[in-house]
Amino acid sequence: MSSIPFDLKKVKAFVLDMDGVVSATVSPVDISGMPMRTVNVKDGYAMQYAVKRGYTIAVISGGQSDAMRMRFEQLGVQYIYMRAKDKVEKLEELEQLSGITRQQMVYIGDDIPDIEIMRLVALPCAPADAAPEVKQVARYISLCDGGYGVVRDVIEQTLKANDQWDLGEGFGW
């Protein structure tokens, strides 16, 4: 049974922030000053599995990372928006391109730039370590921190609620 207070049968898309959601809030910095983001393989498994089950995955981030873009592409993420100055504009573009409405979307965000977009989607979610202001907007707060399973938590609960989380089907295209 899901701990998310929402009819998860309505969900068609998972929209994710990158930093603090898919990757942890703390990251080492390389010699050029660029963050070296880490990923959780269980989050990645859930993302590719959701895509295989027919869900849309999108990333809308103010950050930029070629390595993360490559990771998202490998997982089958269909829409990747980086350096997004206006996340709402990208959400509108996502709606037009995908044909999925906001009322069918989950958004997982962790910080102040996510609040506006979280107010627009059907199911705003946050990791356990999200900013207090974000937690006030979220309808579901995961027990997992950003970069440590929050994406898996939300996707797994959604797929289980829709009888689509089958054991035995592994990673792969």
Q: What number is the average pLDDT over the span 106-110?
A: 98
Answer whether residue 87 is part of any domain.
Answer: yes
Answer whether residue 173 is part of any domain.
Answer: no
Answer whether residue 25 is part of any domain.
Answer: yes
Grouping H, G, I as helix, E, B as strand and the rest as coil, residue 95 is helix
- The pLDDT, as a whole number, for residue 172 is 58
Answer whether residue 166 is part of any domain.
Answer: no
Does the pLDDT at position 111 exceed 60?
yes
Does the pLDDT at position 171 exceed 60?
no
For residues 62 and 83, the answer to whether their CB atoms sit within 8 Å is yes
Which pLDDT tens digit goes with each residue over 58-104? 999 999 888 899 999 999 999 999 999 999 999 999 999 999 999 99
Give CA–CA dist 145/29, Å, rounded: 20
- The pLDDT, as a whole number, for residue 106 is 98
Of residues 30 and 148, which shows the higher confidence score?
148
Backbone torsion region of residue 20, taken as left when φ is above 0, otherwise alpha when ψ lies between -120 and 50, otherwise beta: left
Within a 10 A sphere around the Cβ of 43, how many other Cβ atoms? 24
**% of the chain beyond a pLDDT of 90:** 79
Buried b (16+ CB within 10 A) or exposed e, 84-114: beebeebbeebbeebebebebbbbbbbbebb
Q: Which domain holds residue 128?
A: 8-161
Domain count along the chain:
1
Q: What is the CATH number of the domain that holds 33?
A: 3.40.50.1000
